Structure 1
Amino acid sequence: MRTTKASAPGKALLVGGYLVLERRNAGLVIATDKRFYATVRDDPTLNEEANIIVESPQFHSTWKYKYTNDTLLPCVENATINDFVEKTLRVCLMYLQPSAPINLKIIIQADNEFYSLLPHLEAQSLERTPQAVQTLEPFLPCPKDKDGKAIINKTGLGSSAALVTSLVGALVHHFPPKIFDIQHQEEPKEKIGGNETYNDDANENVDITESIHNLAQISHCYAQGKVGSGFDVSAACHGTHVYRRFPICLLPDLLQQLDVLDSHSDSTKEALHNIVETTPWAENMVRPPRDLPSPLQIVLADIRGGSESPGMAKKVQAWKQKQYMKNPTGKITHWDDLKALNAQAIALFQKMQAVSGSGDHNTTEYDTLATQVASEWPKDSTLAELSATFAEIRTHMKEMGKAANVPIEPDEQTDLCNATMKVPGVVTALVPGAGGYDAIACVYINRPHVLESIGVVWANYEDKIVCPLGLKASDCGFRLDEKLE
C-alpha cells in the first residue's frame, strides 16, 4: 500500500505578458503559496477492468482507466473526459513503464483559491475580505448547476499546469525510473507548511527535478493541443523565477506522434525518453530572483463574471506580425517599448532582491513608505522607479490591446487598478499574464495595514464584485509531501 503525495503551486505572471512567448524575452513569474495536490496510492482491491481510478472530490468527478500492455484506455462509464488527467497519465506511464502490474487510486485536490471563492463566501454570509477568506475550510467542493454538474470558475492561477505538474511528480516518485537509482529516506527531515516533505538525495536532486519539469511541459502541451510559453509549468516546478521559454521547435514532432492511436510504439517511447533525458531544452530558462524581495508581497483578486476572450494570444501575434510586415526594420510600437520596460522591471526586482538578501534594506524606510501612496515616494528610490516602470508597462499593454482589438486591460479593470493604486503602500496593481477580465494582481509593501486597506477598497468597490484571494508569493515549486512504503 505505497502512498506518494506531491504538490505544485499556482502562479501569476507579473512581467512578460505576450512577449514571453518569444525565447528572447524574459518574464517574471511569481509562484503562490496555494497548491494543487496529487496523491497516488497502490490499491490491490481494483480489478483488471479498471485498474486506475482518479477521484476529484472538489469537481464531483471520478475517472476510471484500464492500463494493460502499455496502453491506457478510458472506461466507457466515465461521465466526463479530463484531458489533463488522461493525457498526463498516458505520457507518464509510457515514460516510466512500470515493470509490475499496477492498481492505482489517485486523488487530486486544489487549494480553494484556484477557483472562485464568491459562492462560498455568499453561502456563509461572509464579507469579501482577506480575513473572511482565511476562515473557509480547505478543499471546498465546487458548486453544482441544476443538472448536478460542477460549476468551475477559475481565478487564473494556472490550475491545469499545477495539476499536471503535481500528478507527474507524484507518479515519477511513485515509479522512479531506473536511471535515477533513487534511494528515498524513510523519515521526513523537515516540514513545510505543515506537510511532510523529503529532501532529495544528492544523486537525484537535479535529474529528477528536470525530468518532472520536462514531462510536465510535454503532458501540458499534449493536453492543451498546442505548445504554449511554458511559464506556468515552469513556475509549478521551480517556483518564483525569471523565465525564458524553451525552444518552440522542441515538441511538435513528439506531440504529433502522441496523437497517433498506436503511440505506445517503441519509436514514440524512444522519442519521449530522448526529449525528457538527453535533448537540451534551453540554457537560462530559470534565473533569479527566486522570490519576491522581502519588503514586498502580492495579493490577487477574483472578479465575478470575468472571462478571458478566446484567442487573445493569436490576435496579438497577428497584430504584431502585421506591424512587422509594414516596417520590417523599424520599431514595433508598444511591443518594443515593453521589451525595454520588462527588462527594466526585472532588473529592479533583482536589485531589490540583492539588497534584501544581504539584509541591508532599511525596515524603517519601508515603514514610512507604507504610509504613502506611490506618487509621494522619493523619485530616486528603487521602489518609486519600480512603481513608475509598472505604470508604463500598464499603459503600453492597454494600448497594445486596443491596437490588436484584445481586452488586455479592459476599462473596468483600469478603474479598479487605479483605485487600488490610491492605497498607501501599493507598488502596482495590474492585470497579470494575458490580461482580460478574470483577476487583478497587486504588489504592495508587506505590512498588515496595507493589505487590510487593499481589502477594504476591494470589498466596497461598486462597479464590480471583487473578492481577494488568500494567498501570497512563495519561493517553493514542486514538492514531495509524503512518501510511504
Structure 2
Amino acid sequence: MEMNKEQNFESKCHGKVLLLGGYLILFKKYYGWVISSSPSIKATIIMSESASHNKITVVSNQFSYEAQFEMIPFSKVSGEWNPFIAESLNVVSFIASIMNCGYLLSSKSFLLEINADPEFYTSGKTGLGSSSALICSIISAFFNYLQISDERILHFTCQLANSRAQKKIGSGFDIAAALFGSQLYSIKESDLLKSLLNETINDITVQELQEEISNTVWSTPVRRMELPSHYHLILCQGGEGTDTRSFVRSFHSWYESDIENGKQKMEELFCIVQQSVKLFIDQNRAELRKLSRELRDFWLRTSEAIGVEIMPSNIYSLLNEVTDTCEDVVFSCVPGAGGYDAFYFIVEKPTYEEATEYLSSHFPNLLIIPAQKYP
C-alpha cells in the first residue's frame, strides 16, 4: 500500500497515576487527584493513494498486531479483534456518520500506525493506563483528520469507546487524564453513555449528541492540578499485579453491606484527600509526611474490613520504612485501587534523576518504573 507521508494525522496521549482518591471517584460527590505520566502512545493516520476505499489497516510492532477494518459501516475484514482498537474505530465511525462527515472515512483508505512507549509493557501490570492512552490517541488522531474540534465531543467519544471495550462504565478518570492531563477528577454520569453500551450502537441524531455534550458533566471545566516542580513522582513495581475489577466488586459489596458505615469511611477518606491536596498546594512538607502516614493507616484498616489487600501489609511496612528513613520523601502510598500493581513516593529534589538516585542509594532493591510525572 502506497502512502503519502505528507498527509499524516497523529496524536500522542499519556498514561496516568491516580495519586489520591481510589474508590472515592466511584461516587459523584467526591473527587480524586490523577497525575499524567510520561509513557505515551502515538497514533498516526497515513492516507492511502491506492484505488481502494473505506478500508483501514492497523499495525503495531509493540502489540505484534495487524488487522483491517471497513469504516462505513464499521466491520472487521481480517486480523485479531482487539476491543480497545476496534471500539475506538467503531465509535469514530458512529460519530462521523451522525455528524455528516462519514464520507471522509468511506471515500479513502488509511494506514493506522500505533507506537507505544515500552514502559507500558515491560514492567508487568502497573496500572499506568495503556488502554486509555491507546483509545484517546486513536480517536484524537481521527478527530484531527475529521476536523472535529469540540473537546466535549472528544471526551464523550473516548469514554464511550472505553466503556464499550470494557463492557462497563467505569469512573473515567484514566480517559480524562489521557486527554487533559493532571487534574482533580469527578466521575461523569451519563444516561446516553449507558444507552450506547449495546452490542450495536443505537442510532442517535446530531441534535441528541449536541444536547448531551451541553450537559454540565461534559461542559464542566477541567480542574487542573499538577505536582509542584520540585516534587517528583517515583513509581515502583508492587508485585504480580492485581485484578482491579475484583477489588472494585469487593469494595461495592463491603460498602453496600453497611451503607452508613461505608459513607462514614468515604467521608473520612475524602477529608484526608482534601487536606492532602491543600498541603501539596502549600508545599507543607512536614504535614504532608504526617498525613501520608494517616492515609496508609486508613487503607490498611480498610483492607482488613473489606477483605482484599488494597494496602498489602508488606508494602505498608516498606512505605513506612522508606518514608521514615528518607526525609526528602514527602508522601507515599498505593495508587488507584491499590494492591500489588505499584506503589509510589513523592520525593522533593530539583530533578527526577536526583530523586531516583536518592531513593536508590537508600533502598537499592526498589524496582523503580521509568515513568515520571508529565510534563
Q: What's the TM-score, normalizing by structure 1?
A: 0.69
Aligned equivalent of 1:428:
331
Aligned equivalent of 1:463:
none
Match of 1:166 among 104, 119, 137: 137
Looking at structure 2, the residues matched to 11 and 408 of structure 1 have their Cα atoms a distance apart, in angstroms, of: 19
Match of 1:73 among 68, 72, 75: 75
| Alpha carbons of structure 1 residues 282 and 269: separation in structure 2 relative to 1, 3 Å | closer
Match of 2:32 among 8, 27, 33: 27
Moved more, 443-452 or 218-227: 443-452
Looking at structure 2, the residues matched to 96 and 458 of structure 1 have their Cα atoms a distance apart, in angstroms, of: 52
CA contact (8 A) 1:17 1:432 kept: yes
Q: Percent identity?
A: 26
- C-alpha deviation, 1:411, in angstroms: 1.8
Looking at structure 1, the residues matched to 249 and 190 of structure 2 have their Cα atoms a distance apart, in angstroms, of: 15
- C-alpha deviation, 1:251, in angstroms: 1.6
Aligned equivalent of 2:62:
58
Looking at structure 1, the residues matched to 238 and 293 of structure 2 have their Cα atoms a distance apart, in angstroms, of: 21
SS class of match (2:175)? helix
CA contact (8 A) 1:316 1:401 kept: no
CA contact (8 A) 2:295 2:333 kept: no
Q: What is the one-letter code of the residue matched to 1:253? A: S
Match of 1:112 among 112, 118, 123: 118
Looking at structure 1, the residues matched to 305 and 334 of structure 2 have their Cα atoms a distance apart, in angstroms, of: 17
Greater relative contact order (Cα 8 A, min sep 6): structure 1 or 2?
A: 1
Which consecutive unaligned segments of at least 5 residues does structure 2 have?
A: none
CA contact (8 A) 2:234 2:346 kept: yes
- C-alpha deviation, 1:17, in angstroms: 0.4
Q: What is the one-letter code of the residue matched to 1:312? A: F
Moved more, 306-315 or 13-22: 306-315
CA contact (8 A) 1:16 1:433 kept: yes
Aligned equivalent of 2:50:
45
Aligned equivalent of 1:91:
91
1:336 and 2:267 equivalent? yes
Aligned equivalent of 2:171:
229
Aligned equivalent of 1:123:
none
Which structure has the greater CA radius of gyration?
Answer: 1
Looking at structure 1, the residues matched to 367 and 217 of structure 2 have their Cα atoms a distance apart, in angstroms, of: 39
Q: What's the TM-score, normalizing by structure 2?
A: 0.89
| Alpha carbons of structure 1 residues 8 and 172: separation in structure 2 relative to 1, 3 Å | same
Moved more, 417-426 or 310-319: 417-426
What is the total number of aligned residue pairs between the two structures? 361
Match of 1:216 among 141, 158, 162: 158
SS class of match (2:70)? strand
SS class of match (2:150)? helix
| Alpha carbons of structure 1 residues 458 and 284: separation in structure 2 relative to 1, 3 Å | farther
Aligned equivalent of 2:357:
452
Superposed CA RMSD in Å reads 2.3
1:251 and 2:193 equivalent? yes
- C-alpha deviation, 1:248, in angstroms: 5.0
Which consecutive unaligned segments of at least 5 residues does structure 1 have?
A: 118-152, 178-206, 353-381, 461-465, 476-485
SS class of match (1:268)? coil
- C-alpha deviation, 1:398, in angstroms: 2.1
Q: What is the one-letter code of the residue matched to 2:367? A: C
SS class of match (1:39)? strand
